[in-house]
Structure 1
Amino acid sequence: MNSASTTSADATWPSWVLVVAAVLVSGLLLAGPALRRRYPVAWWLLAGFPAVALRVASTWRPLMAGCGLAMSRRPALTVVSGLVGNGAAPPQPRVPRLGLIRPTAGGFWLLVRLLPGQVPEDFVKAGPAMAEDWGVHAVRVTSWKPGVVRIAASAADPLAAPRIPRTRGPGQLLRVTVGALETGAAWVVDLRRVPHWLIVGATRSGKSTLINALVAGLAPQPVALVGIDCKGGMELSLYEPRLSALATNREQAVRLLAALVDLTLDRMTVCRAARVRNIWGLPEKERPVPVVVIVDEIAELFLVASRNEKDEAQAAGTALIRLAQLGAALGVFLVVAGQRVGSDLGPGVTALRAQLGGRVCHRVADPGTAEMALGDLNPDALKAAQAITPEQAGTAVLASGDGWERARSHLITEADAESIAAEYSHLTPNLSDLHVEAL
């Protein structure tokens, strides 16, 4: 009797498992569209990633063979001889060893060990074929270490509609989330880590939107914002309630930049007296407020039409270079933007570019500007920037010494920027307290 009951229970157990699995799968299929729309990360981890991971594992060998990344285990003549003499099937070719497939918020990544004679560029060329075969938006291949590459895939385009952070507040000092990376991670501008930035982009490419996002993130923080907009303040006047100073022509810009250089020299004296290497080594109560200098349309500072203008342009360029060289340790940070930035503006621009470690390149109207922004850092980043189309407004390529990424800034409108600047106008430091003469 007990034996019969046990046998019956053993027979029905797999059936119950199948029923429960079928119910779960059916529920997931029915709720899939709503789950994907409201909770995209949860949907991807529960349904999307397992299916794609299975596809990657099952197609890896034929994909490598199709891309020319597989190698025969024996020389071709030996294989043919074996086929003719013994009628045996040819040995399976060797393929690069596939590592563990790890999920991310909107994709996955894995490591692959190269076969002898292979280089990372072989896998970079195969990236589009991988994306097509796996049914994902994009695949990016980078070198991980000698003999190993990292393959990262994005299931969907995370730059199509980057989500604005739910909370807004002071956050970490000099650290602002301005958009989303192609990997799905947040695009964070951290001025403590990369103190100076160059932002280029043609009209309606997203440059102004990025500056709006940066100012919106810095406005609630205890920092001084200084603007230089030699086009009469047409762009930066939106933030005037939150700006400690605004120069609207080159004459004012030269005076303001000279005052900022004096400020850095004063801070240098304070640090030397305290025997510290930067302002962050000072006690918090004695630490001067950080200053973020935003320069819009840098070309207006360097274009000259007379001898007097040439002297002004040279003075402005020299001051900017000094601020870039001294500012990081002394709490002065530069964000330099422009539609066109090229060596034709003079040697001062090239010297300044060398001091701006962070680069952001939107769609540009001339290849020289993209070359100036990214050419000295990474040739692959330059190619990616040149491929940005007019329909991809807001999309940019950002690069630094750490590498490069495609990204898109959050949409912060002019009205939003103006409202945020007014909301936090009470936090605006007085320039006289910073030993900077008013214009």
Structure 2
Amino acid sequence: MVTGLRSSRSGEILVPVSRPSLPGLLLVNVARVIGRLVVWSCRHPVAVLVLALAAVVLRSHGPRGLAIVAAAVGALLVVWWRVHPVTFRRVVVSPFRAAFVYARMWQPAMVTCGLDTRMGGEEYLPRIRRVVSTPYVDRVLVKILPGQSPEQYENATSQLAHTFSSVRCRVVLDRPGRLWLEFTHGDSLAEIVPAITPPASVDLTALPIGRTEGGGDWRLRLLGSHLLVAGATGSGKGSVMASMLRAMGPGIRDGSVEVWAIDPKGGMELTPSSGLFERFVYDSPASMVQLLEEAVSFMRFRAERLRLEGQRVHVPSPGDPLVVVLVDEMAALTAYVGDRDLKRRAESALQLLLSQGRAPGVLVVAAVQDPGKDVVGFRDLFPSRIALRLLEDVQVDMVLGRSARLRGAECDQIPASLPGVGYVVLEGVREPVRVRAAYMSDDDVKDTVARFSRDRYSDVVQLAQPAEGRG
């Protein structure tokens, strides 16, 4: 032990300072290395077992024996990967990526992203609790530090994605004090999603219309919820609409669902599906507004009937169908129409349907290119919203709600080569989910009409006031 003297700040008092000897320093460092090896061994028992077995084989059979065993193990791993890839990724890939991708870069990543904390000269880091690897996404469960919030990690998602060589990173809450960092390193939605197989019966709470980024079915809840679909030209709004009609097909065929369609584009978009519609308007803004007002009258009539029957919520049935008012380009009625009176009537009818139509079973499904307030001033009345490719980042929060883009809904970054790709906020889920609608070719649309049309199409000139006994 070497003792020296150190002067105080005043320079008048000398304070003895003890300095550790070289053997003491070596002992401390050896102890630290051993401690880290013990901790690493406890966290990675499979790696320790593999190293131990390799040492035993090397000792007993030499390098040649070790090479033969390694080749045999490699062949078994390949067979395992091909036969049962799910368990292979869970048992082999996830621990490997946890140790050699995330643990290796974790400390510098947390420091450079400002997610570490220093107190009393000690450095504290968020801890990795678990890594789950899939073909396209790695999910890293993180125990955050006291005093941290998920928003701090959301602000660092771009840095984290580049640090771990991922396409994107998003934050998903697990429970208080824990969150998942989802690193996307491949795009499961890059390939076109084929048209869905028509279901045997309709489930209006879970209409299959595409695929989620995780590889599961994208199921849309329509019953009891209005839907707004926003996206730039060519973003795939037609795919969402056509896939939804295909999923509703069994209900259209048995009469438990009716679709009243409005196509301000002169009928070019929706005419191929017109065999599925109970009512279809495309010729003039006046007739479109008339159909909306017919829907309001029908809604009020049904609401009064349900009140007299003591029912609070409409239940669709073949004799009492759910009415879906489908508007292909809502802005043509709420912003672009030149007649101020027609515009006022259209906005009034739509707002009445959106605010009162869910319980009586009269729902609005609308598509729009520009989701701005001057175009859709009542977009907050749509409980369900889908955002496809958008032109500006500010439009994302307009459609999906506040902080949606911060939580991963980068709709303005979706390339034009991926029509049908977008984000949706699901009920009870804080984070937007990336999805892709199934692609519906002209033949698929014709097939849908052939399967589910009831030949009940009627033009707007034949619209009648609601009659007794109807819905």
Q: TM-score, normalised by structure 1?
A: 0.77
1:407-437 superposed Cα distances (whole Å, 9 cap, x missing partner): 2212112331232123211386989999659
Are the equivalent residues in 1 in contact too, given 2:411–2:423 (CA < 8 A)? yes
Displacement of 1:134 after TM fit? 4.6
Structure 2 distance, partners of 1:254, 1:155, is 48
3-state SS of 2:244 partner: helix
1 CA distance for matches of 2:126 and 2:393? 38
Aligned pairs for 1:28-427 (under 5 A) are 28-29=77-78, 35=82, 44-45=89-90, 48-55=93-100, 56-72=102-118, 74-75=120-121, 93-102=123-132, 106-132=136-162, 134=164, 136-161=166-191, 163-164=193-194, 167-174=197-204, 175-192=206-223, 195-222=225-252, 223-248=257-282, 249-280=284-315, 288-303=320-335, 309-345=339-375, 349-351=376-378, 353-365=379-391, 370=396, 372-374=398-400, 376=402, 378-380=404-406, 384-399=410-425, 402-403=429-430, 404-426=432-454
- Evaluate the alpha carbon distance shift between residue 221 and residue 344 of structure 1 in structure 2; reply closer, same or farther with a 3 A threshold: same
Q: Which amino acid aligns with 2:211?
A: A
What's the % identity of the aligned pairs? Answer: 26
Letter in structure 1 aligned against 2:110: M
Q: Where does the alignment leave 5 or more consecutive residues of structure 1 unmatched? A: 1-9, 76-90
- TM-aligned CA distance change 1:304 to 1:202, over 3 Å: closer
Partner Cα separation in structure 1 for residue 409 and residue 125 of structure 2: 29
Contact 1:137-1:154 at 8 Å conserved across structures? yes
Q: Which deviates further from its counterpart, 312-321 or 153-162?
A: 153-162
Structure 1 or 2: larger helix share? Answer: 1
Q: Say whether the 8 Å CA contact 2:331–2:368 is kept in structure 1.
A: yes
* 1:101-121 deviation line (CA, Å, top 9, x unaligned): 345675343432222343323
Whether the aligned pair in 2 keeps the contact of 1:363 and 1:386 (CA below 8 Å) is: yes
C-alpha deviations, 1:28-51, integer Å up to 9, x for none? 44786xx49xx8757644654343
1:66 and 1:300 map into 2 onto residues whose CA distance is: 49
Aligned-pair RMSD on alpha carbons?
A: 3.8
Letter in 2 for 1:415: D
Q: Which residue of 72, 78, 98 maps to 1:23?
A: 72
Residue 314 of structure 1, CA deviation: 1.4
Deviations 1:1-56 (CA, angstroms, capped at 9, x unpaired): xxxxxxxxx999x9899977753432444786xx49xx875764465434323333
How many correspondences in the alignment? 398
CA contact (8 A) 1:52 1:134 kept: no
Q: Take 2:464 and 2:208, find their aligned partners in 1: how far apart are those partners?
A: 27
Distance verdict in 2 for CA 1:167–1:393, change over 3 Å: closer
Distance 2:118 2:280 in 1: 68
Q: Is the 8 Å Cα contact of residues 279 and 329 (structure 1) preserved in structure 2?
A: yes
Q: Which moved more, 1:421-430 or 1:260-269?
A: 421-430
Q: Give the 3 Å change call, closer, same or farther, for CA 416–385 of structure 1 in structure 2.
A: same
Where structure 2 has 5 or more consecutive residues not aligned to the other structure, the ranges are 1-55
CA distance in 1: counterparts of 2:336 and 2:371, whole angstroms? 15
Q: 1:239 to 1:396 in 2, by over 3 A?
A: same
Q: Distance in 2 between matches of 1:40 and 1:167?
A: 26
* 1:345-396 CA distance string (max 9 Å, x none): 4xxx312x12112222222346675564245573526971222333333222
SS at match of 1:112: strand
Cα distance 1:136–1:161, how it changes in 2: closer, same or farther (>3 A)?
same
Amino acid at match of 1:23: A
8 A contact 1:361–1:374 mirrored in 2: yes
Inter-partner Cα distance in structure 1 for 2:443 and 2:195: 18
Corresponding residue SS for 2:208: strand
C-alpha distance in structure 1 between counterparts of 2:126 and 2:68, whole Å: 39
Letter in 2 for 1:318: S
Contact 2:135 2:186 in 1 (8 A): no
Cα deviation 1:37-91 (Å, max 9, x = unaligned): xx8757644654343233334543454345443334632xxxxxxxxxxxxxxx7
TM-score by length of 2: 0.72
Amino acid corresponding to residue 190 of structure 2 in structure 1: A
Could you list the per-position Cα deviations for residues 147-181 of structure 1 after superposition, in whole angstroms to 9, with x for gaps in the alignment? 33322233421221254477431444213222223
Q: Decide whether aligned partners of structure 1 residues 371 and 156 sit closer, same or farther in structure 2, where only a CA change above 3 A counts.
A: closer
The alignment partner of 1:359 has SS state of: strand
- Between the aligned partners of 2:220 and 2:74, the Cα distance in structure 1 is 42
Please state whether the residue corresponding to 2:301 is helix, strand or coil.
helix
Structure showing greater radius of gyration is 2
AA of the residue aligned to 2:448: I
